[in-house]
């Protein structure tokens, strides 16, 4: 396993391992993922020194509140299965 990547880190934030071996986490990881995709200009903007600090604040807030967000958006929350795998609750809410 990569020295900067732990199970705890992977469970708490998005992690991107660059081909160079550098590890990015949180908003910086999202920026790198976007840079490697068809929307690379968005990644470059997110990764800029002017936007990334604000993106880190937003990312941290979302990460802290992610258990509340599915309900706020009307989506069934993920539940932990007996094998430790998160699955979507597909039961109807009638």
Cα-Cα-Cα-Cα dihedral sign, residues 84, 86, 30, 56: negative
Take residue 71 and report the two structure tokens written for it: 């309900």
At residue 79, does pLDDT exceed 80? no
Into how many domains does the chain fold? 1
Residue 84 predicted with pLDDT over 80: no
Cβ atoms of 52 and 39 closer than 8 Å: no
Alpha carbons 38 and 73: distance in angstroms, whole number: 27
Residue 11 has a pLDDT of: 82
Residue with tokens 């934030």: 13
Residues counted in the chain: 94
Q: How confident is the model at residue 94 (pLDDT cuts 50, 70, 90)?
A: very low
62 domain residue, yes or no: yes
pLDDT digits (tens, 9 = 90+) for 35-71: 999 999 999 999 999 999 999 999 998 888 877 776 6
Is 94 within a domain?
no
Domain assignment present for residue 93? The answer is no
Q: In this structure, what DSSP letter does residue 24 have?
A: E
11 inside domain: yes
Element (H, E) at 26: none
Task: Say if CB 24 and CB 8 are below 8 A apart.
Answer: no
Question: Is residue 57 domain-resident?
Answer: yes
The predicted model scores a pTM of 0.69
Residues 2-40: tens digit of each pLDDT: 777 888 888 888 899 998 889 999 999 999 999 999 999
Residue-range definition of the domain harbouring residue 43:
7-88
Q: How many CB atoms lie within 10 A of CB 26?
A: 20
Instruction: Note whether residue 41 is domain-resident.
Output: yes
């Amino acid at each position: 396993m990569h020295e900067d990547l732990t199970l705890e880190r992977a469970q708490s934030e998005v992690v991107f391992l660059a081909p160079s071996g550098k590890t990015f986490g949180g908003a910086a990881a999202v920026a790198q993922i976007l840079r490697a995709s068809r929307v690379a200009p968005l990644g470059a903007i997110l990764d800029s020194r002017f936007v990334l600090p604000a993106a880190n604040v937003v990312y941290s807030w979302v990460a802290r509140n992610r258990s509340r967000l599915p309900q706020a958006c009307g989506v069934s929350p993920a539940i932990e299965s007996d094998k430790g795998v998160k699955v979507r609750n597909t039961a109807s809410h009638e």
